[in-house]
Structure 1
């Protein structure tokens, strides 16, 4: 039977979020209804509220979530009621040209649930990143559900659904950080901090955290940074080179998404080094670099999509590392809040007071 649950929506650009009643249809073919256990408050949700991603209001916000499968639709295999899952926003199609080439982490035709969740008056909702998890329950494509070990704490596990996976994947999958490498991370919010944790997992020898907030730099040290640079106190490229024998880092991960910090990443890497852009820019931003420098410095300039992750491969593996005590996911949970605390969480995010506020049911 279709259900009515409570969910948090952004009704119009810049308007405060609202807790409203929403309608959840029964899962159709290839779909699942998931009861949400916890959902992180990500900066992407704020982008949706502010109209920075699209104009398909009203949006059902929330996407960094873990929960329990309640029901599945016709044709769903390998997923059943009671499964503990992390939701992902890149359900792999298996048939596009990337998937056929054996690179499903680049899938160009990811999909979401076909049916729409609605307001009580029938207005269709646009779920954030195809998930919409600031709700008691949500409807997703079954491929958006990745089963994990049920011992994992929901508030921590759900963060792999977006920001933490994006950062860890930027280091391990996109940046190919290896043992003994030097790594610099520009921007130490949730994604940048996760990139630091990922570089540590990969065995990097020197991990340099760069930010303008000493609180974030202190947290970066806890997560594995060997050195920190407060870039408000001088040229971060010069300081980065001083910490790397005058050469620059093997891999520089830009987790801000601004032209000026991207230039710092570009010039802060060693010759033939790698730059990874994982920070999300806004549409009006432009980048200008001398083409001769692009050629002369060699190496790779990469963008990291969702940490180039394959959820079915990466989520269970990272949860195993978490349960072994080798990946400190709990350190990313700054506070647990109720469903009515999202506006306050946005404010704390804006002021840099938290890595993640997590809504817990």
Structure 2
């Protein structure tokens, strides 16, 4: 038995037995389909879009008069009523909300508040002219402090630093160090330079030089001879330049202390003399000793004098034993200390 393509109705063929149940079933199907049909209305036609149950439910939820929109109310800093008109709530504006360039007019300020009782008699010029009563002044903090409502300002302790002082302030010395230093005492410091530590070091460790002799020389009787200062032991400031092994030349002017020690071989005769010559001719120090007897003798000569650049020093030794003596290099040295600049 065949069936229809759409409703599945049974179609007996020529050899099939016709069953009343099949016929009744076909009729029931047709009855149901016919009952659910939509009648055609003249001038109307169906849309190509299916109208779903969900869309029907959505449409059913729209209230009557839904196109009549009502603006919601706002609360907070800005409020609004049902008409949509907004307004700034009272007392919500603070300093941070006001533009620095707002330039709010003086006549727009409320001058009748209890804490500003006298402002109705004041103008903007009063704030610049200094006529505002002290009671209206605010507190000040920082390097300068002042309590609110007073006019007595004070410097905060410890805030003044060197850069705050004018270069020409000429502050009296008695106002420094508890008043224990006078202007005259400060004047003593005028000659000190920024290298004061170097000056102190120079005083404690003055420039100095020492020379020794490595040559034993014969001293004929009755003759002045000069030791050979051929070994420089030290010269801390390079202030002496040898012009010859018997003479030294000063490179830097100043006050000098000179000491020379000479050792002479054994003799119990005669005397031993020493002297210091400045610039070869000027005798600036002299010493004389008797013989050393059975021992070699040592003579010393010292001088303190001002020497200028280019001037020379020479040490000389004399003996009159009637024979030759030996100038002993191992016992001979010359020390020079520059005490201070000229």
TM category (shorter chain) comes to under 0.3
Q: TM-score, normalised by structure 1?
A: 0.16
Q: Normalising by the residue count of structure 2, what TM-score does the alignment of the two structures yield?
A: 0.16
| Higher RCO, Cα 8 Å, sep 6+ | 1
Computing the radius of gyration over CA atoms, which structure comes out larger, 1 or 2?
2
